[in-house]
């Protein structure tokens, strides 16, 4: 590893990369703003105690912690007084955008509107083992709606995320939806006791990766019988059967019918379990809110969706692509009605979605989904330098053309004209201006089209128009 | 300190803050792009060795260092093996944007154009004692031109920065310019030996704060005689005399004459000193490059300007405001031809400018320089919810209006209509849509103007036009 590389798991973004990232970020911002979400930014560094204990054991381990500062630390170290990591650190890098939001809502409750809708597009840091597509610094694009428990909010969030994905050019996405209360109901109806439910969720979350046998095996290790496990997994099978027809071009089995059929099957399964029925009630309301809208075709009720994070309390979402070989979600979210209460006196309901910018960029790159003009040169014209004495004239002309709305590069030094032309060509700049002795004497400019080779002498005020 | 506050010296930016920050950032980006600068982004976290030793002793102390991870650290701590801070940390938060740029240029030399012009607008972190206007996380807006030693680049950088300040609405700024070689020449001509020159620069840098007596005192502590010190400070006095006429509305003593007079005075002083003459030669070229251009009036040659950072090798700049009580610079920069060579095999010349976003925002806030529409509501219309059953209709209408280009808020739950109206009004949203039973039956919408109180019933497709 050269000493000029970025740190392990971190990336430099050269201009073409930044342009692609900004293209996606701007579409995300634009859609969120149209939905009335407002921008929020929080510091990269949080007090360690703000983050600790919010993400489970894995989160605590993957957090980048910041060393305390000052002479006292040095002294204590020298004296061998410090025996544990916890005494060394007081701050940590942000691990997600949800916990900082919860802190902000608790802190500024009186300054924020009752129903606070915010988006936040910032990096987060996790000391994960770097792998293809997995970085230690990566962006999250979060959107959250604070203050309401109504399923209207879930519907609107899904609409916004789906509009973003469509604007970016995705056609093959599915928004999987499930509900933590419904999950609890399903677990209880299967006979899994409360004390084993969290473990069970962790295993179910891995169903795609470890398969049914893997889940059954993990269940048994955790004291859940094979019979109980099979009962639950058979339910998932049955529902997958209902869903296994391709979602697209499916005229005789439209999604709303499909989702209604799934809901009925789930209702039968949880029977009279109160949590299960609470979850189903929410899912029915959700379906009603999106009825006959284009989003409806992207929604798939998936009772096996579990989501890793422990703070979810209601609906949970995950967005996946159905074509190509990219597995894993490109966005996810859910309702977390308890998190803000951990910071303030008040329990405030909240639900949010996080779009994984890096994964979206990865797939868009693979699929060639970026517009062409993102990767072309960044200047409309280059102005050459005739000699050192007349450089000021070149700079003056540059100022005039910029005032006329052009993006103008000035070659930075006096050099052979041929070399300057070549440089412009190497950057794909279409036009070059020359201010030679004749041109300067006549107060004119020679304009060369590098594509056609054509050259003409023009008045200074004609140049901008000609290039446009 | 409440546990919901941001960490010490860090800030949360609520929506109105973010909008102001983005307003300034967008103007900066727009101007830099017009000058052919391209965006670059580097990771927030760098290898510790990349940053160490680049900023002087103060920089090393103010760096936020990141704790090593993993079990080995825990074991070593428990065994009392770790005696010094250096064994605890392998990474650190970015301290400025210049050193990462130098690393990037050395690393991607073959992928970047020969003359690489980049801008970078990202946060940096310094564990400074927080004070009014001094934060531990703050943004820098850097622009740098790599690959040329020509003073054309210095001229263009000053033009870009001055255009940004003018676009933001500043009229009272001055770009002070000096030159590290000229400084060396002046020190030598005063009789200050090479070994004391760095100390002397540190003291001169504080002239504004500690005054002439303070500088002389510090000089004496460092073995520089009073006579020598006075020789130098008298030069500064004479030049300030030339400059002390107000720069603005000065018909009979225009800046170019003024700067030429100052240059002559400096030439006399350094006499035959080679460094001094190299510096003066650059400043003369610089003046030639900006001759008869609007930037000329903002330029002030200031031989007492020193700049703190040790990596500067040529021209140095600082931008200050001349009216109001804000002291201190709002931007600064200079040439650093040796820094990139610290990372690669090749010495590559470079010069850059850094705009202090936080200071600019502070002054703009004090002076009321933000446009009004930044602080108004973020939605054009709010759609009410009549009841839970018809919420889907409200969401559908929202989709239609958004497709028509409007920013639309949907009230997130069924509630008393009066309460919903009040909420819209509290957010300064001018229009509210109601989809009551009658409207739904007739497939129409009631539109209420909250300012005038007027209400009318319209076809759904008339709404967007009416609001616009």
For range A241-247, the mean pLDDT: 68
Of B430, B353, B344, whose CA–CA distance to B159 is shortest?
A: B353
The residue in chain A having the minimum alpha-carbon distance to the alpha carbon of residue B150 is A413
Asked whether the predicted pLDDT for residue B410 surpasses 50, the reply is yes
8 Å CB contact of B13 and A78? no
Model confidence, pTM: 0.93
For residue B86, the SS3 value is helix
In angstroms, rounded to a whole number, what is the distance separating the alpha carbons of residues B291 and B159? Answer: 12
Contact A421/A432 with Cβ under 8 angstroms?
Answer: yes
Of A288, A285, A284, A267, whose CA–CA distance to A276 is shortest?
A: A267
For residue B155, the SS3 value is helix
Residue B376 confidence (pLDDT): 62
Residues of chain A contacting B399 with CB distance shorter than 8 Å:
159, 293-294
The residue in chain A having the minimum alpha-carbon distance to the alpha carbon of residue B409 is A36
Residues of chain B contacting A61 with CB distance shorter than 8 Å:
69
Reported confidence tier of residue B208, pLDDT bands at 50, 70, 90: confident
H/E run at residue B75: helix B71-78
Asked whether the predicted pLDDT for residue B309 surpasses 80, the reply is no
Residue B118 confidence (pLDDT): 97
Nearest CA distance, A188 vs chain B (angstrom): 30
Residue B291 has what DSSP assignment?
Answer: T
Counting residues of chain B whose pLDDT is more than 70, the rounded percentage is: 96
Nearest CA distance, B15 vs chain A (angstrom): 5
Residues of chain A contacting B127 with CB distance shorter than 8 Å:
69
In angstroms, rounded to a whole number, what is the distance separating the alpha carbons of residues B245 and A347? Answer: 63
H/E run at residue B447: strand B444-449
Residue with the bigger pLDDT between B71 and B159: it is B159
Residues of chain B contacting A69 with CB distance shorter than 8 Å:
61, 64, 127
In the numeric block, the tokens 């602080």 are attached to: B375
8 Å CB contact of A64 and B123? no
Residues A43-81 have pLDDT tens digits of: 999 999 999 988 877 888 899 999 998 777 777 777 777
Residue with the bigger pLDDT between A256 and B354: it is B354
Nearest CA distance, A214 vs chain B (angstrom): 29
Contact A312/A335 with Cβ under 8 angstroms?
Answer: yes
Reported confidence tier of residue A149, pLDDT bands at 50, 70, 90: very high
Residues B36-85 have pLDDT tens digits of: 999 999 999 999 999 998 887 788 889 999 999 877 777 777 777 777 77
Nearest CA distance, A227 vs chain B (angstrom): 40
Q: Which residues contact B291 (CB under 8 A, 6 or more apart)?
A: A392, B256
Burial profile A284-317: b = 16 or more Cβ within 10 angstroms, e = fewer = ebbbebbeebebbbbbbbbbbbbbebebbbbbbb
Residues of chain A contacting B433 with CB distance shorter than 8 Å:
none
How big is chain B, counted in residues? Answer: 468
Of B123, B69, B118, B72, whose CA–CA distance to B93 is shortest?
A: B123
Nearest CA distance, A78 vs chain B (angstrom): 5
Nearest CA distance, A241 vs chain B (angstrom): 29
Asked whether the predicted pLDDT for residue A42 surpasses 80, the reply is yes
Residues B312-365 have pLDDT tens digits of: 999 999 999 998 877 789 999 999 999 999 898 889 999 999 999 999 999 999
8 Å CB contact of A82 and B82? yes
In the numeric block, the tokens 């940390």 are attached to: B89
* Lowest-confidence pick of A234-248, A256-270, A319-333, B364-378: A234-248
Give A394's Cβ-side CA count (13 Å radius).
Answer: 31
In angstroms, rounded to a whole number, what is the distance separating the alpha carbons of residues A272 and B164? Answer: 67
* Lowest-confidence pick of A281-285, A289-293, B93-97: A289-293
Backbone phi, psi, residue B202, to 5°:
-60, -40
Q: Which residues contact A463 (CB under 8 A, 6 or more apart)?
A: A381, A397, A400, A401, A404, A433, A445, A447
Backbone phi, psi, residue A333, to 5°:
180, -165
Mean pLDDT across chain B: 91
Reported confidence tier of residue B254, pLDDT bands at 50, 70, 90: low
Contact B16/A116 with Cβ under 8 angstroms?
Answer: no
Of B392, B418, B383, whose CA–CA distance to A151 is shortest?
A: B392
CB-closest option in A45, A294, A406 to B7: A45
Query: Measuring CA to CA, how many Å separate B332 from each of A443, B131, B168, B169, B320?
Result: 35, 21, 17, 19, 9
Mutating which of B9, B26, B152, B384 best tests the A interface, going by the most A Cβ atoms within 10 A? B152
How high is the ipTM of this complex?
0.92
Residues A216-233 have pLDDT tens digits of: 999 999 999 999 999 999
H/E run at residue B37: none
Q: What angle do CA B197, B202, B208 make, to 5 degrees?
A: 130
Three-state DSSP string of chain A: CCCCCCCCCCCCECHHHHHHHHHHHHHHHHHHHHCCCEECECCCEEEHHHHCCCCHHHHHHHCCEEECCCHHHHHHHHCCCCCCHHHCEEEEECCCCHHHHHHHHHHCCCCCCCCEEEEEEEEEECCCCCECCECCEEEEEEEEEECCCCHHHHHHHHHHHHHHHHHHCCCCEEEEEEEHHHHHHHHHHHCCCHHHHHHHHHHHHCHHHHHHHHHHHHHHHCCCCHHHHHHHHHHHHHHHHHHCCCCCCCCCCCHHHHHHHHHHHHHHHHCCCHHHHHHHHHHHHHHHHHCCCHHHHHEEECCCCCCCCCCCCCEEEEEEECCCCCCCEEEEEEECCCCHHHCCCCCCCEEEEEEEHHHHHHHHHHHCCCCHHHCCCCCCEEECCCCHHHHHHHHHHHHHHHHCCCCEEECCCCCCHHHHHHHHHHCCCCEEEECCHHHHHHCEEEEEECCCCCEEEEEHHHHHHHHC
Mutating which of A25, A27, A34, A405 best tests the B interface, going by the most B Cβ atoms within 10 A? A34
8 Å CB contact of B36 and A73? no
In angstroms, rounded to a whole number, what is the distance separating the alpha carbons of residues A386 and B39? Answer: 28
CB-closest option in B39, B82, B108 to A77: B82
DSSP string, B366-435: HTT-S-GGGSS-S-SEEE----GGGHHHHHHHHHHHHHTT--EEE-SS---HHHHHHHHHHTT--EEEE-
Reported confidence tier of residue A257, pLDDT bands at 50, 70, 90: confident
Residue B391 confidence (pLDDT): 96
Residue A285 confidence (pLDDT): 95
The residue in chain A having the minimum alpha-carbon distance to the alpha carbon of residue B403 is A34
The residue in chain A having the minimum alpha-carbon distance to the alpha carbon of residue B99 is A4
């Amino acid at each position: 590893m050269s000493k000029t590389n970025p740190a392990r798991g971190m990336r430099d973004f050269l201009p073409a990369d930044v342009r692609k990232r900004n293209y996606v970020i701007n579409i995300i911002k634009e859609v969120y703003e149209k939905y009335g979400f407002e921008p929020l930014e929080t510091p990269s560094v949080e007090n360690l105690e703000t983050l600790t204990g919010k993400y489970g054991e894995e989160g605590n381990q993957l957090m980048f912690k910041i060393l305390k500062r000052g002479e006292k630390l040095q002294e204590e170290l020298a004296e061998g007084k410090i025996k544990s990591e916890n005494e060394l650190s007081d701050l940590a890098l942000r691990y997600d955008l949800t916990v900082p939001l919860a802190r902000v809502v608790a802190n500024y409750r009186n300054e924020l509107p009752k129903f606070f809708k915010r988006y936040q597009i910032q990096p987060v840091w996790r000391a994960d083992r770097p792998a293809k597509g997995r970085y230690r610094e990566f962006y999250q694009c979060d959107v959250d709606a604070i203050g309401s428990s109504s399923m209207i909010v879930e519907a609107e969030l899904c609409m916004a995320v789906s509009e973003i994905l469509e604007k970016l050019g995705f056609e093959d996405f599915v928004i999987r939806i499930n509900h933590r209360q419904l999950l609890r109901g399903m677990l209880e109806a299967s006979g899994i006791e409360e004390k084993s439910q969290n473990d069970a969720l962790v295993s179910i979350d891995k169903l795609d990766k470890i398969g049914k046998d893997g889940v059954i095996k993990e269940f048994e290790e955790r004291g859940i019988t094979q019979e109980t496990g099979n009962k639950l997994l058979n339910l998932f099978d049955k529902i997958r059967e209902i869903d296994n027809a391709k979602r697209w071009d499916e005229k005789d089995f439209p999604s709303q019918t499909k989702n209604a059929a799934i809901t009925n099957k789930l209702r039968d399964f949880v029977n009279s379990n109160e949590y299960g029925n609470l979850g189903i009630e929410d899912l029915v309301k959700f379906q009603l809110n999106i009825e006959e809208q284009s989003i409806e075709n992207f929604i798939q009720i998936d009772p096996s969706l579990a989501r890793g994070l422990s703070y979810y309390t209601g609906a949970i979402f995950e967005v996946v692509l159905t074509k190509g070989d990219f597995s894993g979600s490109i966005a996810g979210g859910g309702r977390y009605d308890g998190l803000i209460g951990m910071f303030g006196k008040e329990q405030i309901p909240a639900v949010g979605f996080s779009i994984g910018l890096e994964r979206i960029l990865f797939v868009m790159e693979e699929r060639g989904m970026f517009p062409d003009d993102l990767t072309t040169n960044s200047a409309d014209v280059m102005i050459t330098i005739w000699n050192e004495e007349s450089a000021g004239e070149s700079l003056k002309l540059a100022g005039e053309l910029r005032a006329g709305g052009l993006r103008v590069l000035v070659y930075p030094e006096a050099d052979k004209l041929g070399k300057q032309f070549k440089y412009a060509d190497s950057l794909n700049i279409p036009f070059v201006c020359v201010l030679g002795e004749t041109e300067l004497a006549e107060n004119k400019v020679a304009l060369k089209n590098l594509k056609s080779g054509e050259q003409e002498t023009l008045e200074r005020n004609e140049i901008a128009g000609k290039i446009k």
